[in-house]
Structure 1
Amino acid sequence: MKKSMKLVAALTLVFATMFTACSGNSTKTESSKSATKTGSVTTSSAKTSNTNTVGSKSTTSTAAADNSSGAAKLDLSSITGEGDKLDKILQAGVITCATSPDFAPNEFIDISSGETKYVGCDMDLAQYIADSLGVKLEIVPMKFDAIKAAVTTGQVDMAIAGLAYTEERAKNMQLSDLFGNTDADEGQGIVVLKENADKLKTADDFTGKTILAQNGSVQLDLTTTQLPKANCTPIADVNNGAMEVITGQADGLTLDLAVAKVLITAHKELAISDFKFEYESKGNVIGCTKGETKLVNALNMVVKEVNDKGLYKQWKDKAVELAKSLGVEVNN
């Protein structure tokens, strides 16, 4: 769910902080990665860290040792369901959470203290879950398109990464109830160079243009289905995609508009095209290994509490402000 002082340094941080595929529903596609985040630093401290291997990618993660979210520990005695992950989490005292920290304000990186911290509204939710279960939180950062494999093979306990509900995800993962429907009025759009914004305003204007979208995201589906005359190029990393737009190697980058608004605040050379995809957001979900219904039932208790208290909106508002402040003040 950070960005500029010196152009190159700022780009590195901003990009490392700000995006990653978002999601939503189109009339043809049912959601994906979506943006909504808040800005408290909740997920990592340098106290405990280890290296995890996800596929071929080695990732370092950190765990927060203290209750920092204010969540009360849940009574889990009545929780039922299949799978043993919840029991193992409680026994180990740690829950692992995969995320793709390039998608502000949902999940992004804050290094302003000299220490790498994973922040944003999704990370606030992850911390709230850990505190509700009475365990430590370990964040496992990875590319967005690696998250599915990490979850389905059980390498992580859960994934919180701007995941919207899709039928394909429901077939491959055990999904939580919906949360965070705070950006239904935002939508999905395309970030372009400001100097080209007047020339790229309609679907026809993107004919023959190179539009980037993150692999495995709803943005990719939206671009290929709703802009069939454009050259849609899948990318593994949204950070690199934004750099390609800035340097003129691509004409646009499809993003959740909540994320795009944070991006253009930090980078004055970018703008949001007037074109918007057909889109409807219902909120996001937490992904767990298929069949782990006992764990998901416990997570749904937390999700209900978060929804009832309106916490996600609060976290998102803080995350937006943090992302904007980092974009102006942080030098990598």
Structure 2
Amino acid sequence: MKTLLRNLLLVGMLACGLGACEKPVDTAPTPKVYKVGMNAAFAPFGSIDTSGKIVGFDVDIMQAVADQAGIKIVWVNTPWEGIFTTLANADIDIIASGVTITDERKQSMLFSDPYFEAKQVILVSPGKNIGSPDDLKQANRVGVTAGTSADTIMQKMLGKNSNALVRFESLPLLLTEVDNGGVDAAVGDNGAVANHLKFNKDKGFKLIESDKFEKEYYGIAVRPVDTALMAKINSGLKAVHANGSYDKIYASYFAK
């Protein structure tokens, strides 16, 4: 009997030595973390705070959408001039960065339902005699951010190769030039320009709105093949509208 028991113990020890007694391996797949591209130089939609964190309206909206859609995201600060190529090359999975939905962009990207209504406005430097979009045709220097809706509109108005049209890599560089009087006026999205004006009320700038500038809409973008991901994003976007989260976030940035 003792011999039999000893043999059974030896068999058990040998089995454990061969791995039979190891804990079961968790084979559940690790949830994908989607990389969200953001040009963090477009306050209040996206910027870097004093701690180095990306913050802004688009950040809060996209995070709320992700929470409702059940997806995990991480932010990647991406220069505007290369953000669409970065998406196409799969270095990021999503763009949430004040991207205007256009027919041209729809050819290479899949857009969500609109999440923000925008319009171009003119920020006029102090002392400049500009009161309407037509006055920009006589201006010496009109600034825009390269590759934006404002750039496209001003190319049509002033001419693609006009010496009066000055392009900047980012909105902060453009607005700094306005502050310094380096351009007569800047053309840009209403939310971003109004945000700059809010913190510079004493500098004598003039904000011009015009019906000649059509309404535009921002959308969240993914690659055309990522239809399942876009379905989740649109579902999440509908949910944040339905539960009141969108209105609360909007009011925290744009309440008058």
State whether TM-score is above 0.5: yes
The verdict on how the C-alpha distance between 1:211 and 1:155 changes in structure 2, with shifts beyond 3 A counting, is same
Q: Which amino acid aligns with 1:294?
A: A
Give the TM-score, by structure 2 length.
0.78
Matched with 1:210 is: 141
Write the letter of the residue equivalent to 1:209: N
The amino acid across from 1:314 in the alignment is: K
Residue number among 91, 95, 117 corresponding to 2:30 in the alignment: 91
**Higher RCO, 1 or 2 (CA under 8 Å, sep at least 6)?**
1
In structure 2, how many angstroms separate the alpha carbons of the residues matched to 1:258 and 1:210? Answer: 22
State the 1:299 CA deviation: 1.0
Secondary structure class of the residue paired with 2:143: strand
**Paired residue for 1:117, among 50, 53, 56?**
53
Question: In the alignment, is residue 189 of structure 1 matched against residue 125 of structure 2?
Answer: no
Letter paired with 1:307: H
Of residues 149, 169, 176 in structure 2, which corresponds to 1:236?
169
Name structure 2 gaps, 5 residues minimum. 1-28
* % identical equivalent positions: 21
- CA–CA distance in structure 2, aligned partners of residues 270 and 255 of structure 1: 18
Q: 1:306 offset after TM fit, Å?
A: 2.3
**Which structure 2 residues correspond to residues 5-84 of structure 1 after superposition, within 5 A?**
none
Give unpaired runs (5+ residues) of structure 1. 1-89, 325-332
SS at match of 1:98: strand
Assess if the C-alpha contact under 8 Å between 1:177 and 1:300 holds in 2. yes
TM-score when normalising by structure 1: 0.61
Change in 2 beyond 3 A, CA 1:230/1:200: farther
Q: Is the 8 A contact 1:152 1:290 kept in 2?
A: no
After TM superposition, give the deviation of residue 312 of structure 1 in Å.
Answer: 2.7
* Segment drifting more, 257-266 vs 213-222: 257-266
Residue 121 of structure 1 contacts residue 312 of structure 1 at CA under 8 Å; is this kept in 2?
no
User: Is residue 69–residue 235 contact of structure 2 (8 Å, CA) maintained in 1?
Assistant: no
For the residue of structure 1 that corresponds to 2:113, the secondary structure is: coil
How far 1:99 sits from its partner (Å)? 0.9
Deviation at 1:298, TM superposition (A): 1.2
Q: Deviations over 1:40-88 (max 9, x none)?
A: xxxxxxxxxxxxxxxxxxxxxxxxxxxxxxxxxxxxxxxxxxxxxxxxx
Corresponding residue number in structure 2 for 1:108: 47
3-state secondary structure, aligned to 2:107: helix
**Equivalent-residue separation in structure 2 for 1:135 and 1:116 (angstroms):** 24
Shift of residue 310 of structure 1? Answer: 4.6
Tell me the secondary structure at the aligned position of residue 172 of structure 1: coil
**Whose helix proportion is higher, 1 or 2?**
2
The letter for the 2-side match of 1:195 is: G
